[in-house]
Each structure stands twice: as C-alpha cells, then as structure tokens.
Structure 1
Amino acid sequence: MNQPKPYNQNKVDRSTVISLEKGKIPPQAVDLEEVVLGAMMIDKQGVYEAIETISDNEDVFYKDAHKYIYTAIFDLFADDSPIDLLTVSDQLKSKAQLDLVGGDFYLIGLTQRVSSSAHTERHCRILMQKYVQRQSIKVASVILEEAYDETKDIFDLLEESQKALDDTSEWLLRKKAENLSSVFDKLIENSKNPQASIPSKFTKLNKRTNGYHPNDLVIIAARPGMGKTAFVLNEAKFQSEQGIPVGFLSLEMSDVELVGRIIANEFGIESSRIKQNQLTPSEKEVIRKESEKIKKLPIHIHDGSETTVNEAKTIIGKWVRQEKVRIVYVDYLQLMRGSTNNKNGNREQEIAQISRKLKAIAKEFQIPVVALSQLSRAVETRGGMKRPQLSDLRESGAIEQDANVVQFLLRPEYYKIDEWDVDMRTPTAGQCELNTAKTREGSLGATVLDSSELKYMRFKDLKDFDDSWKDNEFKPEPLSPDQAFEPRNHVDNENYDDDLPF
C-alpha cells in the first residue's frame, strides 16, 4: 500500500514535539473510526463508500491499530477477495499484525458497534477533516521551525509551505463520481449560460473553437518573431473590453512593456517608439486624455521572470477569488520553473510537471489557461512553408498530451516566403496563419489573420472575398426562382443578339 509522503520526513519528529509542548490532543474521531471499520467488515457497500472517499490513505485514521485494519481491508479489496471478519483476521495474521490491533476480540467488537453501513460516507468525510487538521498542524510546525533557520531561503520556504498545504487540501477536494442525470443537467445549464466560454476577438477562430472554454489548457506555440505575445494581448484587450476580467502572467516582458503594447494597439502608435520614449507632444497629450479608457480595463498583470508553477497557482487563485478573473494568459511556458523539489530532474520532466500543473489549475479554478510555448528549431530547417507540427513542441511531449487545444502561429513573410501554398497563390505580406493542430472540441484547420499592423501590435480578421460583399452597398440582391427563369428584356439591352445557330 502506498504511503503518503510527509511534508518533511526529517522534521516530523520535531513537529510532533512542538504539538506536545502545547499540551493539546491532536484532532481525532476514534469512535467514528471504529464505526467505519465495523461497517466495512459487515457490509460490502460500506467498503465501497469508504474506499471511494478515503482511497489508499490509511493515515486518515488516527489510531495505529485502525490504520493496520484499514490497510488489511484495502489489500483484500485490491485483490478482489471477500471482506468479512474472518478474511480481515487472516490478512492481519499474514502480516503479524493481529495481536497489534487487539486480536480477534477487538475485531468482533468493531463489528458489533454498527448494524449497517448507513452514513459511512458522512463518517469518512469527518475523518478526512480531522486528518487535514492534523496535517495542517504538522505543516505549520515545520514552517515554524524552518522560519527560525537563517540559512533557509525565504522563497523556498514559501513555495514548500504552499505546496505542503495544497497537498493536504487535495484530500478535501476529492471529487465524487456523479450520475448521468446530474451531469446532463449541468450541461444544459451551461448551454443556457452565454458566459460559459470566453470569446475570441477573431470571428473565424470563434467559429472553429467556440472561444476559450473553462477547464481547458490552450497552447499557442510559435518560433520567436511570429508575434505570440502581441496575439494574446489582442485577445486579452478585446475580452477585457467586453467586461471579462483577465489575468496575464508575464515571465518574459515587464508590466511596463506590456502596457506599452496595449497603448500601441489602442492609439496606433508604433510600439518601438513607445518603448524608446520617442513620442511626440501631441501623442502624449492624446494618451493622457484617453488614459482612463485603458486604466479601466480589467487586466491584471504579474511580471516575474523566476515565477514557479506553485507561485503561479497562488497568484491565479488570488485573482479568481478577489478579482473574479475568468481567463489567464501565461507568457511563456518554458520560462516557468517547476517545483524546487525537482532540481535533480531533467528539463523535459520539469516541463511535463509544469504543463500538468497548468492543466490542474485550469480544472481547479474552472477557467481557461492559455499558455504560450516556444517551438524547436526543427521548424526553420523544414522546407516549404515551414509550417509547425505537434512534434515541434519544445522539450516535452507532455505539452501535447495535457493540452485541450494546440494552435500554431506562422508568419511566412518572416521567412521571406512571398506566397501561400494554396491554389490561388495569394501573397503572404502582412498575413499570418493560426493553425489549430489539436482540439478535443471544435474543428482542426488553419485560420488566416491580418497582421499587417504588427508594428502597432494589432491582429485582426482577414476579409476574404465573401466578406468584401458585406461592406459593399451595391451588392446585388439574389434572384427569386421566378426571376431566374424569366425571359430577358430585349428592349433594355441594345446589344442583345438572339440570332443563334441553334
């Protein structure tokens, strides 16, 4: 049976001493432990309900004897063996633990404590609460000890503390299986809610993916120079203008640089001139007068080049709780650090840990997490359009596995490619392709966008032939079926010639 990892194995004894010095008994419910174990030995339903709630964590039980008994029952369950008073006794005997729990007499006493497995789940929930309380005391005690250690890095202390508390709280957040009826009702309720998904700025992308969905990890990947950050800033600005609070975790650019790009997008000023402080007096005056419009956008920015994935979870959790943030952008994934406990692992394992954690964050807070990602140099050695593939995702195949949606951004103009590889061979100048290479919902395929104003950090929908009619006031009205087959008016057309050879 798997043993749950303690917060710090070397300091568990110290934390216990601190608790004893306070003269308080750790939180416990031994009487309920007896009831749960008794129910498991007399009723198979009790076994299912207890294991579904507690799983393989015998430490939920406070008393050592009860830990041994629960482990014996769990092992029998895992082996598909029958579970009753006799089989549990034999299992304990095989491990030389029967005398440690008080012998058969104690087991018989447990079965006599209950007459059925009614309320077993409720009892297990209470035991879990007591377990979390005990673990919290241990974590707090270790934090207290390490806070006095002058050699301990404060950021490592905060990160380890947060992780320990997160690991402890996960036991209370264990999700119970639901029946089809309740899930069906949830689906119908979500379909009635127009805010269930976050819209994209781009019409064709909305049609392909229906925007950004809660619980999803979306990866937008490209080589440097394609405009990844500008693209997601366009999305963030558009969504915030719709009143949707947005979070932006920037590990590459400072918050001042990001705001400069938003200003460039809003006022049509070259971002390079904003960065180099080369604005004219008239431009500064326009920005000053219209500044309130930008300041009111519900965009929350955190720039930290050394942000870890656990720190990101803390920041995002605060945004969701306090600012009601509904979508988060991460720029970019490869700059994020994994847990400090993974220092000895390779980079691929660290990236895999980060992508899994970002996916877990999206599910826990029920928001879309959109993470930018770098691609390998294999793209640039490829011939033709240099169109990215899923195998180009840098450093980890886990990114592809964890992501609900993977999209690639490509500007062929960057590679001096003048024409698209399509039948019409249209120019690539000022255009980019957003290719949806993976999606668990929606459809795969490429969407061409207009990036001709990238110096202003602007992306927009590219009008095709059908779109051009929408803005043309002289667009002809379609003919009705009767009009389509009416004879032509010979008088109105002087060049009409019906002298045909047939």
Structure 2
Amino acid sequence: MIESHSSPTVSDASSNDGDLGVLLRRSPPSSTAAEQALLGAILTNNKAYERVSDFLEPAHFSDPLNGRIYEAIARRIERGQLADPVTMRAEFEHTGVLDAAGGPAYLAKLLTAMVGIVNAGDYGRVIHDAWVRRQLIDIGETVVNNAFGARPDLDGSDQIAASEEALFKLATERGQEGGFVSFTKALTEAVSVATKAYQRSGDVVGLTSGLRDFDKRTGGLHPSDLIILAGRPAMGKTALATKIAFSAARSILRDAEDSGEKPKGSVAIFSLEMSSEQLATRILSGEAEVSGEKIRRGDIGQKEFDRFVRVARELQRLPLYIDDTPAISLSAMRTRCRRLARTQGLSLVVVDYLQLMRPAIGTKPDSRVLEISMITQGLKAIAKELSVPVIALSQLSRQVESREDKRPMLSDLRESGSIEQDADAVMFVYRDEYYLQQRQPKDSAYDSNDKFQAATEEWQRKMALVHNKAELILEKQRHGPTGMIQLYFEGEYTRFGDLDVIHE
C-alpha cells in the first residue's frame, strides 16, 4: 500500500536550533505516488471513482494539477460520460491544464503509475489522510501565530475557543462521516426504540420532563431534538426550563439508585442571564417551599431554614451542572458539552437563552438574523452529535403586546425563520393571569361606585378562573401532535407542576 511521505529523522537532538531547522525544512505530508496511481486507476476503469467519490474532493490533492485532473474526470463521470485517456486528452488540450506538466505525456505517466483498480479506495484514503494532516499543520501554525500576537483582538480564552472550533470543523467536515444506513439496520433500531417504549410503564419513551401531560403529548425528551421554549418576559420560561432540567436530573439519579450504579448521564444548564447561585436558589425555593423573595431578604424562620438546608443536602447528589458564563460562544458551549459527555455522561442540555449567545469564534455574520441562524444550527448540531435533547429558551418580539389575544404564535419568534426551521419542537409558555392582573379596574375610570364595584367583581371572577394556571402551547412538533397543555404555576415559589383538571 502506498503511504504518505514521512518526516526525516532528527540526527542531532542536542541542539534546539538544529531541531528547529529540521522542523522548518520538513515537507508537508503528501503522496504524489498515491495521487497518480488513483488517477490512473480511474482513467483505466471509471468504476474506481465510486470507491472514493463519497469522501475525496479535488482540494484534498497535494498537487494542484492532480486535483484539477480529478475534478475534470469526476465532472465527466457525474454527467454519465466516459472519462478515459482519449476523452480527457481532448479536454485537457483544449483547456491547457496539462501544459505545465509536459502535455499529454502526463496522462501516459498516470496510466503507468496505476497499480490496480481494487486498490483505488486505499489510494483515496492515503490522499485524504495526508490532507487532514496538512490541515492540522495549518491549524497549528495559526494557533502559534495568534499566540505570538497575530490576532490582538482575541484574548487567550478566545484563541482557545477559536482553535477548538477549527479542530471541530475539520473533524466534522472532512468528508468521511455519513453514508447510507441499510433499511434493515434502521428497522432494527426502530424496533428497539418501540420495545423500550412498550416495556416502560407509562407514556414516556425519552427523558422525562417531570410534567405528566407534556410527557403524554410528546413521549418525553428525545435524543437529537432541538426544542425551543419561548415566551415574553415574566411568563416563566426560566422557571419551566429549570423544572424540566431538575426533573430530568432527578430521574437519572433515581434510575442509578435503582440499579445500584453511578448515574450514567447528567443535565447541563447554560445560564447566560442568571448566576448559578440565583438558579440554585430558585430550585431550592421550589423544592423546600420557601419563598425565594424571603430567602433573599433573610426573612425566614428557623423551621423554614432547617427545611431549606435539609433539601439542599438532598439535592447535592443530583447530576446537574450549571455554567453561568455570560455571552458564551457556540464553540465554547460545544467543547464543554463534549467534555461533560466524556467525563460524566450527558442526557440533556438547557440554554437560557439563545439570543444572549455568540456564534462560533472567528465568524462574523452580516446580520442578526444570520447570527441567530448560525446559533440554532449549531445547537441542533450539538444535539445530533451528542445524541441528547437540547432545550433552548428564546425571547419573543414585542408585537405580542399589541394584540388583544396575547397568546404567542410562531411569527412572534425573534428572527423566527431560522429558529422555526431548525427546531424539532417549538413551544410557548403563556399565563393569562399576568396580563389580566394589569387590567385591574381603577375607581377613577368609572363615574359611579356601582359601576366600579361591578367591574371589580367581574375582574375578580376572571382572575379566579386563571389563578395559578399557565398554558404550554406546543405550536410545532416534528414527530407528534401539537396543541395546548395546561400547567399549574405557583408564583410564590416560581415553580410549575401538573394541573389536576379532574378534581378542580
């Protein structure tokens, strides 16, 4: 098998200057012999092209001439035309591609270099591997140059993120991933998922959200799904996302305790708006049933404080991790998720909220819409790569406030096109109580006390109907039905729960 060029050995390791000189004189990895052998194989039998066409591109050739020849051959084959020395010679003579290499004689050299048709795939992999190594060298040079000050606009942390982003891009775009999966294998996986669902008690196939009616409607939180949770300020987006994250972490811990093992997964919350301490206080407030406002003021009695501390000790074992880095970049988030998945296992990612994120380091989108599109596409890529559900919170535009019915719609999403397109599910949290509370009658607006009293009684009646109630509007679900789910909302503890409409 033909291999790429190896670097010369260092004969004298005693001198650092000598080592540097050898490094500078080394040629980038390449294999001209493999390139010529592959081109000769394809020219001899076009079926050899099928062995490399799914991963090899003209840019992967170290010799630009060989890359142009490969591109021309591929173009003819893709059009269903024959690409052999006769047809290619006419094309190359017309374009003058071979002039620098000695003309048509180079085609004869390629045919001579051909070793065997069956080895075409091996030649292609040698060429591709050499290209990957050259890209790694380029990335390494960029890292060194930036560290020496070539990019003064990037601090140390940004340089690390940019380097990780470049490596991730190389890893995901190198052309080897993907390909067809046999229908037999796809069916086997589908049956496996259905079997797990059948064996489970209840309707939850994926990770539980802790909300009974939501799990019934969706089957839980599914791997690789990007779920957008949107709402206007004060609707309870963060509280609902925290509830789901906490319930998922508790479910992971419970499963581990039942099996007598360590938790095999974890939940990651990226809180770009609230600090980790504020988020932890909110979870504690709900679980200990101690008002968060009282906790912040220190206005709690000994009994409440003891309950607060006891619950805190119980929650310490939860596989829940919070990252409160403000304006975190997509590349940094991806790196931290991959690290957590490798060390603790990862089952769910929550992002609060996506408009506060930055795109990948080194990218400069032309518009805010394009920037949000890059972020949502990146979040979907994280969900697919790590095979975990990603819940991303999103703000809504102000046009909601101008309508009589303030229930959100898909068009209310900021930069709605990209968010709606990339998401597997879009849901809105809405509380009629919040808006109705603002419409409390004022005596100055009425010319008589009787009218004011009547209006107040009607307002109180309407308030009683919506008190402690919230709506989760499932506006889009790629794999299931949409509709409205009623939830219970307890403002004192800022927590959501199931609404028992049967015994209400």
The verdict on how the C-alpha distance between 1:21 and 1:459 changes in structure 2, with shifts beyond 3 A counting, is same
What is the identity, as a one-letter code, of the residue corresponding to 1:314?
Answer: T
Query: Could you tell me whether the CA contact under 8 Å between 2:287 and 2:311 is conserved in 1?
Result: no
1:178 and 2:216 correspond: no
From 407, 416, 425, the counterpart of 2:436:
416
Query: Equivalent residue of 2:164, what SS?
Result: helix
Query: Could you tell me whether the CA contact under 8 Å between 2:487 and 2:499 is conserved in 1?
Result: yes
The verdict on how the C-alpha distance between 1:368 and 1:340 changes in structure 2, with shifts beyond 3 A counting, is same
Correspondence for 2:261: none
What is the identity, as a one-letter code, of the residue corresponding to 2:291?
Answer: E
What is the identity, as a one-letter code, of the residue corresponding to 1:44?
Answer: N
1:304 and 2:306 correspond: no
Q: After the TM superposition, which residues 117-196 of structure 1 pair with which residues of structure 2 at under 5 Å, given as runs? A: 117-149=117-149, 151-154=152-155, 155-170=157-172, 171=174, 174-193=177-196
Post-superposition CA distance 1:54-81 (Å, at most 9, x none): 2xx3221122332121121233345444
Correspondence for 1:83: 83
Correspondence for 1:399: 419
Correspondence for 1:442: 480
Query: Equivalent residue of 1:291, what SS?
Result: helix
Q: Distance in 1 between matches of 2:463 and 2:479?
A: 30
Post-superposition CA distance 1:218-267 (Å, at most 9, x none): 10111111101110111111111112510111111111111111111210
What is the identity, as a one-letter code, of the residue corresponding to 1:219?
Answer: I
Q: After the TM superposition, which residues 16-165 of structure 1 pair with which residues of structure 2 at under 5 Å, given as runs? A: 21-54=23-56, 57-114=57-114, 117-149=117-149, 151-154=152-155, 155-165=157-167
- Using the TM superposition, name which of 178-187 and 328-337 deviates more: 178-187
- Using the TM superposition, name which of 106-115 and 292-301 deviates more: 106-115
From 469, 472, 478, the counterpart of 1:431:
469
Correspondence for 2:444: none
- Using the TM superposition, name which of 219-228 and 35-44 deviates more: 35-44
Q: Distance in 1 between matches of 2:92 and 2:208?
A: 58
Post-superposition offset of 1:152? 4.3
Post-superposition CA distance 1:392-438 (Å, at most 9, x none): 111241000000100111101111079xxxxx998111111111111
The verdict on how the C-alpha distance between 1:278 and 1:78 changes in structure 2, with shifts beyond 3 A counting, is farther
Post-superposition CA distance 1:87-115 (Å, at most 9, x none): 33333333321123443333233334447
1:249 and 2:270 correspond: yes
1:353 and 2:374 correspond: yes
Query: Could you tell me whether the CA contact under 8 Å between 2:33 and 2:113 is conserved in 1?
Result: no
Correspondence for 1:462: 499
- Using the TM superposition, name which of 160-169 and 398-407 deviates more: 160-169
Query: Equivalent residue of 1:229, what SS?
Result: helix
Post-superposition CA distance 1:258-281 (Å, at most 9, x none): 111111121011122223443433
1:362 and 2:383 correspond: yes
What is the identity, as a one-letter code, of the residue corresponding to 1:393?
Answer: L
From 274, 281, 284, the counterpart of 1:260:
281
What is the identity, as a one-letter code, of the residue corresponding to 2:124?
Answer: C
Q: Distance in 2 between matches of 1:189 and 1:106?
A: 55
Query: Equivalent residue of 1:357, what SS?
Result: helix
The verdict on how the C-alpha distance between 1:326 and 1:36 changes in structure 2, with shifts beyond 3 A counting, is farther
Post-superposition offset of 1:19? 9.5
What is the identity, as a one-letter code, of the residue corresponding to 1:440?
Answer: R
Query: Could you tell me whether the CA contact under 8 Å between 2:209 and 2:221 is conserved in 1?
Result: yes
Post-superposition CA distance 1:452-494 (Å, at most 9, x none): x2321321111122xx49xxxxxxxxxxxxxxxxxxxxxxxxx
Post-superposition offset of 1:382? 1.1
Post-superposition offset of 1:299? 0.5
Query: Equivalent residue of 1:233, what SS?
Result: helix
Q: Distance in 1 between matches of 2:315 and 2:401?
A: 38
Post-superposition CA distance 1:176-218 (Å, at most 9, x none): 1222222222322333446972122112111211111111111
Q: Distance in 1 between matches of 2:32 and 2:248?
A: 52
Query: Could you tell me whether the CA contact under 8 Å between 1:436 and 1:446 is conserved in 2?
Result: yes
Query: Could you tell me whether the CA contact under 8 Å between 2:290 and 2:308 is conserved in 1?
Result: no
Correspondence for 2:313: 292
Query: Equivalent residue of 1:182, what SS?
Result: helix
Q: Distance in 2 between matches of 1:186 and 1:22?
A: 51
- Using the TM superposition, name which of 320-329 and 123-132 deviates more: 123-132
Correspondence for 1:213: 222
What is the identity, as a one-letter code, of the residue corresponding to 1:27?
Answer: P
Query: Could you tell me whether the CA contact under 8 Å between 1:257 and 1:275 is conserved in 2?
Result: no
Post-superposition offset of 1:47? 2.0
Query: Could you tell me whether the CA contact under 8 Å between 2:225 and 2:384 is conserved in 1?
Result: yes
What is the identity, as a one-letter code, of the residue corresponding to 2:231?
Answer: A
Query: Equivalent residue of 1:455, what SS?
Result: coil
The verdict on how the C-alpha distance between 1:433 and 1:352 changes in structure 2, with shifts beyond 3 A counting, is same
What is the identity, as a one-letter code, of the residue corresponding to 1:49?
Answer: R
Query: Could you tell me whether the CA contact under 8 Å between 1:36 and 1:50 is conserved in 2?
Result: no
Correspondence for 1:234: 243
Post-superposition offset of 1:342? 4.2
Query: Could you tell me whether the CA contact under 8 Å between 2:288 and 2:311 is conserved in 1?
Result: no
From 394, 402, 415, the counterpart of 1:373:
394
The verdict on how the C-alpha distance between 1:256 and 1:406 changes in structure 2, with shifts beyond 3 A counting, is same
Could you state the TM-score of these two structures normalised by the residue count of structure 1? 0.81
Q: Distance in 2 between matches of 1:261 and 1:245?
A: 19
Q: Unpaired segments of 5 or more residues in structure 2?
A: 1-19, 198-203, 253-264, 440-461
Post-superposition offset of 1:173? 5.0
The verdict on how the C-alpha distance between 1:455 and 1:119 changes in structure 2, with shifts beyond 3 A counting, is farther
Q: Distance in 1 between matches of 2:365 and 2:209?
A: 40
Query: Could you tell me whether the CA contact under 8 Å between 1:352 and 1:396 is conserved in 2?
Result: no
Give me the CA root mean square deviation. Answer: 2.6
In the alignment of these two chains, the number of paired residues is: 441
The verdict on how the C-alpha distance between 1:33 and 1:96 changes in structure 2, with shifts beyond 3 A counting, is same
What is the identity, as a one-letter code, of the residue corresponding to 1:400?
Answer: E
Query: Equivalent residue of 1:358, what SS?
Result: helix
1:204 and 2:204 correspond: no
What is the identity, as a one-letter code, of the residue corresponding to 2:178?
Answer: K
Query: Could you tell me whether the CA contact under 8 Å between 2:30 and 2:130 is conserved in 1?
Result: yes
